[in-house]
Amino acid sequence: MDTNVLLGTAKMDITPTFPAELQPAHPLRQDAASESVRRLYARVAVFQYTSKRSRPQYAVVVSADIIYFVDQRIDSLRKQLLEQWGIPGEAIVFQGTHTHSAPCPGSRFGEAFDGPYRTFIELLETSIVQGVERAIANLEPVAAERGSGSCGFATNRRKREDGKIVMAPCDEGPTDPEVTVIRFRKRDGREKCVFIHYACHPTTTYDNAFSSEFPGVAVEQVEAALGHDATVFYLQGCCGDIRPAVVRDGRYYAGSNLEVSRYGCELAATVLGVLVSRMEPLRFVPFECRSAQVRLPFLSQPSADELEKHRDKSDGLGTWSRMLLDHPDRNVPYELLWIGYIRLADGLAFLAMNGEVVVEYGLYTKRVFGGKVLPMGYSNGHTTYIPTAAQLKEGGFEAHDVFYASGRPSPYDLSIEQAIKEAIVRLVQQ
């Protein structure tokens, strides 16, 4: 037991009791059932490292059942945690599990457009701040250990057909079946907290209801099996091109709560199997928290004249043109990818990125650092999909369509892959 490291946790219910709109890709219809399929939670873990020679260090992990945190809300949350407890922004990971069946957490166009989502935003942020307060109130010494298993329901969703990339299951495409399990034990040997790290889109169902999706099923089952108020977190990996195998006749279909439960149970069984096996003890170290920004240049920028030519069209080109004309601040030469690095122990660090990062970057991070660094997408804000250079050449949804649908000037330049990989190595080895 390392008495230098204390851990406190909290689990906050963020299921709306008021009308709330699901995130734009999955609108909640007017006739939605009042009862949610799976309740939504924000889970908070606060780590404190104490030393006789320095002030306490903090590291915070927040996992919320939302699609992701939008940029403008991250600034607000960081400010509140800094003012109340002196916790710096680089020491915090705010991650959405990426369920598509949760209320919209804010507009991607900025705070001025948050109005329709304000009630849920206030619930979410208040719950997180209260969760940090509760977690700090129950700090206690813990020991850490890690293990891993494998879960096989995730599929690569980029398939080449007739010379084009379509969204369909691709058996030859890369996936990351590894399930990393981190356990934190209290003095009495019981679990205080468990982290589950896996990489798969929670897009099993598009039912007309709120749902924490298969991650919610998995963590609820593991929490129930452990008992004694253990808090279990789902940490989403790099799954931009990975989704569940809800497949019929070679195509994805919209599953129901049956499929949600099936995959959640499969993941939970894997985790519970790891927890009863021999796990590797981890040695805590003074926390390391730092970040970097990577410039992601766009391939091109349309001129105002070009956009005006397409403004009145009723197709996707017209929609894209109107979005950029209405929001000229988005017609920029580049975006920034924010990468955060938090190291808690020998063999346990988080690499958190604010985009829908495809699985190849996660596999690269694990390979380069021997699995000691857990790659996480959907963290600390949101840009868009982060494809590889090869995918940008191929096209398809993640590398072409989404850029125009979300009002970007164009897809990214092919140089981003090398820039991101170099930035990851520099940040971790700094």
Please choose, from the candidates 399, 390, 258, 287, the residue with its C-alpha nearest in 3D space to the C-alpha of residue 346: 287
Give the C-alpha separation, 261 to 214, whole Å. Answer: 6
- Would you say residue 349 lies in a domain? no
Please choose, from the candidates 19, 16, 101, 94, the residue with its C-alpha nearest in 3D space to the C-alpha of residue 61: 94
pLDDT, one tens digit for every residue, the chain (430 residues): 556 899 999 999 999 988 777 766 555 555 555 456 689 999 999 999 998 777 899 999 999 999 999 988 898 999 999 999 999 999 999 999 999 999 888 877 777 777 888 899 999 999 999 999 999 999 999 999 999 999 999 999 999 999 999 999 999 999 999 999 999 999 999 999 999 999 999 999 988 788 999 999 999 999 999 988 999 999 999 999 999 999 999 999 999 999 999 999 999 999 999 999 999 999 999 999 999 999 999 999 999 999 999 999 999 999 999 999 999 999 999 999 999 999 999 999 999 999 999 999 999 999 999 999 999 999 999 999 999 999 999 999 999 999 999 999 999 999 999 999 999 999 999 9
304 and 266 within one domain: no
Give the C-alpha separation, 72 to 380, whole Å. Answer: 10
- Would you say residue 385 lies in a domain? no
Domain edge (last residue) among 284, 316, 346: 284
Give the C-alpha separation, 86 to 213, whole Å. Answer: 34
- The total number of structural domains in the chain stands at 2
- Would you say residue 15 lies in a domain? yes
219 and 104 within one domain: yes
320 and 214 within one domain: no
320 and 186 within one domain: no
Enumerate the β-bridge partners of residue 54: 51
- Would you say residue 14 lies in a domain? yes
Please choose, from the candidates 164, 155, 162, the residue with its C-alpha nearest in 3D space to the C-alpha of residue 394: 164
194 and 170 within one domain: yes
163 and 46 within one domain: yes
- Would you say residue 427 lies in a domain? no
In SS3 terms, the chain reads as CEEEEEEEEEEEECCCCCCCCECCCCCCCCCCCCCCCCCCEEEEEEEEEEECCEEEEEEEEEEECCCCCCHHHHHHHHHHHHHHHCCCHHHEEEEECCCCCCECCCCCCCHHHCHHHHHHHHHHHHHHHHHHHHHHHCCEEEEEEEEEEECCCEEEEEEEECCEEEEEEECCCCCCCEEEEEEEECCCCCEEEEEEEECCCCCCECCCCCCCHHHHHHHHHHHHHHCCCCEEEEEECCCCCEEECCEECCEECCECHHHHHHHHHHHHHHHHHHHCCCCEEEEEEEEEEEEEEEEEEECCCCCHHHHHHHCCCCCHHHHHHHHHHHCHHHCCCEEEEEEEEEEEEECEEEEEECCEECHHHHHHHHHHCCCCEEEECCECCCCCEECCHHHHHHCCHHHHHHHHHCCCCCCECCCHHHHHHHHHHHHHHC
Full-model pTM: 0.95
Give Rg (Cα) of the chain. Answer: 21
Give the C-alpha separation, 370 to 337, whole Å. Answer: 23
173 and 67 within one domain: yes
Range of the domain at 308: 299-330
Domain edge (last residue) among 256, 284, 312: 284
- Would you say residue 353 lies in a domain? no
315 and 191 within one domain: no
32 and 169 within one domain: yes
266 and 315 within one domain: no
Provide the edge-to-edge strand list for the sheet that holds 242-244. Answer: 164-170, 154-161, 242-244
Contact by Cβ (8 Å): 416, 297: yes
96 and 154 within one domain: yes
- Would you say residue 143 lies in a domain? yes
Alpha-carbon separation of residue 99 from 96, 103, 236, 327 (angstroms): 8, 10, 10, 27
319 and 174 within one domain: no
Domain edge (last residue) among 257, 284, 311: 284
- Would you say residue 16 lies in a domain? yes
